[in-house]
Chains A and B, each alone.
Chain A
């Protein structure tokens, strides 16, 4: 399938306090700024945020929302220094999640660090950041190691923003059994994104190129590449401290795996509707619904095992609801989701004392 380059662009807002719960409740809309982007840090203020969660999470889709992490932004010199501890990079996590099918002991980044610095230069916010993690166990029932390293650059003005992320090291190796080592090596990954602001309408585009190679006892067992392109537009309506937004986008991906000779393409047209309302001076309520409309196509060709071929046009239901609350008092903000995880469990449509707050995070603004 040809790559599509139709334009629908989304702009990230200047909300530098985009906690995990806040983002989740607002459907991870692209108009919400990524707090870890260097140019967002340049335009932010001093704060410290805590995302509660587990110390050890598995390398599976969605698990990177369950880990504990902290983010500190402090004024240093003319700009801001950001220190992220425990934060799992989304690009690395997504690529390893795909590779985990071939490397069953795959681990996410261990003790990850993200250090960024951003500052204002004339009318522009600029910033750069480093991503790093390293781990190795030499003895025990599982001998393995992982490492990652990446670079982030960002620039923004009132009208536009641009980001570049390069992951130039992403490795995992299981060497428990001598002579039968299983190794994953991520290919250099690029994520380029940008956006523009047209009044209440914002546009965003992102192109990413990722891939990885898996070897077992020195023999290639998988070699894959993936290209993703997304173009989105969001309209934001502000009214008395309330933000209502809706948006549409076009996302497409193309991936191929050369050892098993498989190809997969997707084409989706996601819609999002969301609201962040100020119920009181100290309470914000958030809700969103996302769904693919008209286009929700997936095609997978497996030349080796044709029985694995898949083609849906359109595909399964994708309607997803999320809600959350933010309590802001003095300098503390506590964000949480409500009626946590409504993906499959119908009993989770309730809000009661047993199902109250989830994905809780705490932020302190200096």
Chain B
């Protein structure tokens, strides 16, 4: 049980720290708070603040890891007759943070191979009225193999609201289940929920994030595992704008709690990650981004106090040509196993193309 405890805690912490909730630009900055199309998946009401775009994100179609698949996203505003306006956003192929992120955690902890969602679509409708912004949307993915009854079903409802400097969002999982085609074991994730709050005070952003999930594994119809996850995160970001350059430092307080009822295991990790990042325009053509992230001060759980080294650096580049952005990260300069090299074998990764209307 001690071994499971350690592995469980290690993986929960590892995943929380390495959540690739975004690509390219966000990966280079290791922070989701700047205005970016990726921010819409966390605060859907922000959709109306971002110019219209069409994004093509590279990835591996059959990647088994969270948020490494390709996707395309489109967003457009419409001005209504009474001067309020609304916008519509549509994404196909992008993993859901609430659905696929949890499945990824389950796979890493239980050493299973449950698939990510298949052919997902995400729709978001945002409208502005009387100074406030509202959004509603859904995520849906479905796959069904009828011979062996191997299903992969998921859906969420997403809501967002912006009032003055406060932005709220919530994603509620409607259903999330998948059957392993090899073992025919079933994973069901229910009561999954994430709520977020963003308060923008001049050059300071305050973020709150609460998420929870109930996870059950079944084999031949019999429950074999039951896992409960509950995470809190509070972040404080200080932004400095220097011409067209953006510099920020961000401090988060992250608490991750897990209860594995079958193994009778309770784990809790508290950490204080610090992120410092910069985005600078070299010229009209190139933008360089980079960041360093490390847990400082507090990094404790029942298994360690403090934990192992967490310093990660990331560098990326953006190519800006007229209305097109090509963003990516330098493959050799990002992540926990970066080899510090830039060459033809270690060039760009997580590359995306964005066209701004």
Interface residues of A (CB under 8 A from B): 48, 50-56, 66-70, 72, 83, 85-86, 107-111, 113, 134-141, 329-332, 334, 336, 340, 353-360, 362, 364, 366
Contacts and interface: CB of A to CB of B under 8 A. Distances in A.
A347 B23 CA distance: 35
A356 B343 contact: yes
Interface of B: 2-3, 5-6, 10, 242, 245, 247, 249, 274, 276, 278, 280-283, 286, 288, 290-292, 294-296, 299, 302-315, 330, 332-345
Nearest to A69: B311
Given A85-B292, A329-B283, A52 B313 contact: yes
Contacts of B286: 329
Contact of A353 (B249, B283, B343): B343
A229 to B, nearest CB: 32
Contacts of B245: 331, 364
Contact of A139 (B5, B288, B295, B333): B5
A250 B306 CA distance: 42
A113 B292 CA distance: 13
Contacts of A51: 313
B242 A366 contact: yes
B313 A68 contact: yes
Given A50-B278, A330-B281, A353-B344, 14 more contacts: A48-B247, A50-B315, A52-B315, A53-B313, A55-B309, A56-B308, A56-B336, A68-B311, A70-B311, A108-B309, A111-B308, A111-B310, A356-B342, A360-B340
Contact of B280 (A134, A140, A332): A332
Given A68-B312, A138-B304, A111 B299 contact: yes
Given A69-B292, A111-B310, A52 B276 contact: no
Contacts of A331: 242, 245, 280
A72 B274 CA distance: 12
Q: Find the residue from A68, A107, A356 having the highest chain B CB count within 10 A.
A: A68
Given A85-B292, A111-B295, A332-B288, A67 B341 contact: no
A111 B340 contact: no
A108 B311 CA distance: 13
B67 to A, nearest CB: 19
Given A353-B344, A360-B342, A138 B280 contact: no
Contacts of B338: 52-54, 68
A136 B341 CA distance: 32
B291 A50 contact: yes
A50 B313 contact: yes
Contacts of A364: 245, 247, 278, 280, 290
A138 B2 CA distance: 10
Given A54-B337, A68-B312, A366-B242, A48 B276 contact: yes
A360 B332 contact: yes
Contacts of A111: 294-296, 299, 306-311
Given A110-B308, A134-B306, A360 B315 contact: yes
Nearest to B274: A85
A236 B290 CA distance: 33
A123 to B, nearest CB: 31
A137 B3 contact: no
Given A48-B247, A140-B6, A340-B341, A68 B305 contact: no
A185 to B, nearest CB: 20
Contact of B340 (A55, A141, A358): A358
25 contacts: A50-B290, A51-B313, A52-B334, A52-B338, A53-B313, A54-B338, A55-B309, A86-B294, A86-B313, A111-B311, A136-B304, A137-B308, A138-B304, A139-B304, A140-B3, A329-B286, A353-B344, A354-B344, A354-B345, A356-B341, A356-B344, A360-B315, A360-B332, A360-B333, A364-B280
Contacts of A354: 343-345
A162 B304 CA distance: 39
A138 B308 contact: no
B343 A355 contact: yes
A362 B329 CA distance: 13
B283 A330 contact: yes
A175 B347 CA distance: 42
